[in-house]
Chains A and B, each alone.
Chain A
Amino acid sequence: DAGVIQSPRHEVTEMGQEVTLRCKPISGHNSLFWYRQTMMRGLELLIYFNNNVPIDDSGMPEDRFSAKMPNASFSTLKIQPSEPRDSAVYFCASSLAAGSNQPQHFGDGTRLSIL
C-alpha cells in the first residue's frame, strides 16, 4: 500500500519567494497533520485537519503560513513570503480518525532551505 506521499522531497529557494508543499494522505484516512522539524525545536505540530476541515492551527507560526485541504486526497502548506528561519523538514501525516487511538503515519518529508 502507498504511504503518505509528499512533494517535493527537497526545495531550495530565496527568501521572499512563495513555497508550496504538497501532501497526499493514505487512502481512506480522514485526518491529516502537518509537522515541522528543526534541530532547535524538534518536531512540532503546525495544523491538523479532520474530514478536510482545519481543527487546530494553533501551531502555525504566523500569517505567512497557510494550509488547505480541498479534498480528502490532497493538502498543501504554503509559506508566503518565505524567510530563512522557515528552513526545516516539513512532514505530513495521516490517520484513520482524530480523537481516536489510531496511529499517525508519516511521509518522508520535504527538506526546505530558504537562502
Chain B
Amino acid sequence: DAKTTQPTSMDCAEGRAANLPCNHSTISGNEYVYWYRQIHSQGPQYIIHGLKNNETNEMASLIITEDRKSSTLILPHATLRDTAVYYCIVRVAETSGSRLTFGEGTQLTVNP
C-alpha cells in the first residue's frame, strides 16, 4: 500500500473549517483513500473514503486532487469534540490482505 505524509499537528478555531492535508504521491490507480480519527482512549473511528471523486457525508468532505497524489479532509464546522489524531490511509481494497496501515497521523486541536 502507498505511503502517506501528513503534518504532525494542526490547530483550528472552534466553529471554523478544519482542512487536513495528506500527500500520497505514489498512490496506485486501484487504491482508495481512507480517513480515520482516534480520540484519546477510544478506538479509531471511520470518517470517509474515496477513490477519485470528491465525497461528502454527515461528518466530513473528502477532496481528492485530479492526479490523486494528495487529498484534503474538511471538517466544515469544527467543535472541541473533533480534537483527535486524524489518519490518512491508502489501501488496495480488492486484495485479500485488507490491512489498514496507520501512520503517525495529524494531531488536530480545536481551540475555543
Tell me the total A-B contact number using a CB cutoff of 8 A.
56
Q: Are A56 and B93 in contact (CB under 8 A)?
A: no
Against A, the Cβ 8 Å flags (1 = close, 0 = not) of B18-61 are: 00000000000000101000000111111001010000000000
Q: Among A55, A56, A104, which residue has its beta carbon within 8 angstroms of that of B100?
A: A104
Contacts of B102 in A (CB 8 A): 42-43
Selecting from A11-19, A65-73, A80-88, A91-99, the interface stretch reads A91-99
Assess the B96–A103 pair: CB atoms within 8 A.
no
A interface, over-half SS: strand
Contacts of A107 in B (CB 8 A): 43
Is the pair A99, B94 in contact by a Cβ cutoff of 8 Å? yes
CA distance A45 to B89 in the complex (A): 14
A98: chain B residues at CB < 8 Å are: 96, 98
Interface residues of B, CB < 8 Å — how many? 22
Which range holds the interface residue count of chain A?
Answer: 20 to 34
Say yes or no: is A75 at the interface (Cβ < 8 Å to chain B): no
Q: In chain A, what residue has the closest Cβ to B95?
A: A99
Residues of A within 8 A of B (CB): 4, 31, 33, 42-43, 45, 48, 55-56, 59, 91, 93, 95, 98-101, 103-109
Task: Point out residues on B near A: beta carbons under 8 Å.
Answer: 32, 34, 41-46, 49, 51, 93-104
If A55-B96, A95-B98, A101-B49 are given as contacts, then 17 extra A-B residue pairs at C-beta distance below 8 Å, sorted by A number, are: A4-B43, A42-B102, A43-B100, A45-B101, A56-B96, A56-B99, A98-B98, A99-B94, A99-B95, A99-B96, A100-B93, A103-B46, A104-B100, A106-B44, A107-B43, A108-B42, A109-B43
